[in-house]
């Protein structure tokens, strides 16, 4: 067998790439339209820690004014007495409430939940 026979044999074995080989194949990720996730599928979310804080008010101060503070000093906040407290989860406002005392500890009674549309407005 000479070189020309080998070339001819190789050329016969080669064929153009199949169109099917060129297409990427991905699994179908669509869920049934009426299928709701089960509680078991969402259980992993229940153990995610969140930072919950309640803001009584806030103010801006110069460093010099901050250094002048001592025991008994009063810092004036931007909220009026009786205004609702802001309840934040991971620094995002989610509700408002009022201060309560339970067994000598402070607590917050939720009076208003922020709607999802209001939360989206706060982002922009």
CATH of the domain at 119: 2.30.330.10
Residue 62, in any domain of the structure: yes
Closest C-alpha among 44, 53, 59 to residue 90: 53
Cα–chain-centroid distance for residue 9?
62
For the chain, list the strands marked E by DSSP: 52-55, 85-89, 92-102, 105-113
Structural domain includes residue 100: yes
What six digits make up the tokens of 114? Answer: 């922020």
Q: Is residue 23 part of a domain?
A: no
Q: How confident is the model at residue 11 (pLDDT cuts 50, 70, 90)?
A: low
Name the more confident of 71 and 5.
71
Q: Is residue 37 part of a domain?
A: no
Tally the domains of the chain.
1
pLDDT above 60 for 17: no
Query: Is 68 a member of any domain?
Result: yes
Strand order of the β-sheet with 92-102 is 52-55, 85-89, 92-102, 105-113
In a domain, 17, yes or no: no
CA distance 17 to 12: 14
Chain-centre distance of CA 43, in angstroms? 17
DSSP one-letter code for 39: H
Of residues 108 and 8, more confidently modeled: 108
Q: Each residue of 94-106: pLDDT tens digit?
A: 999 999 999 999 9
Between CA 84 and CA 99 the distance in angstroms is 8
Tokens of 110: 């939720």
Residue 102 belongs to a domain: yes
Distance CA 110, CA 102 (A): 14
- What average pLDDT does this structure show over 83-103? 93
Is the pLDDT score of 46 beyond 70?
yes
- The residue range of the domain holding 68 is 49-124
Residue 88 included in any domain: yes
Provide the pLDDT confidence category of residue 84 given band limits of 50, 70 and 90: very high
pTM over cut 0.75:
no
């Amino acid at each position: 067998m000479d070189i020309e026979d080998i070339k001819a044999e190789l050329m016969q074995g080669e064929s153009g790439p199949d169109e099917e080989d060129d297409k990427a194949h991905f699994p179908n990720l669509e869920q049934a339209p009426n299928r709701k996730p089960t509680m078991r599928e969402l259980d992993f979310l229940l153990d995610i820690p969140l930072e919950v804080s309640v803001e009584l008010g806030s103010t801006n101060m110069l460093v010099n004014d901050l250094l002048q503070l001592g025991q008994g000093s009063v810092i004036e906040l931007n909220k009026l007495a009786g205004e609702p407290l802001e309840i934040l989860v991971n620094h995002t406002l989610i509700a408002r409430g009022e201060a309560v005392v339970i067994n000598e500890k402070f607590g917050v009674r939720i009076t208003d939940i922020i709607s999802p549309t209001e939360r989206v407005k706060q982002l922009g």
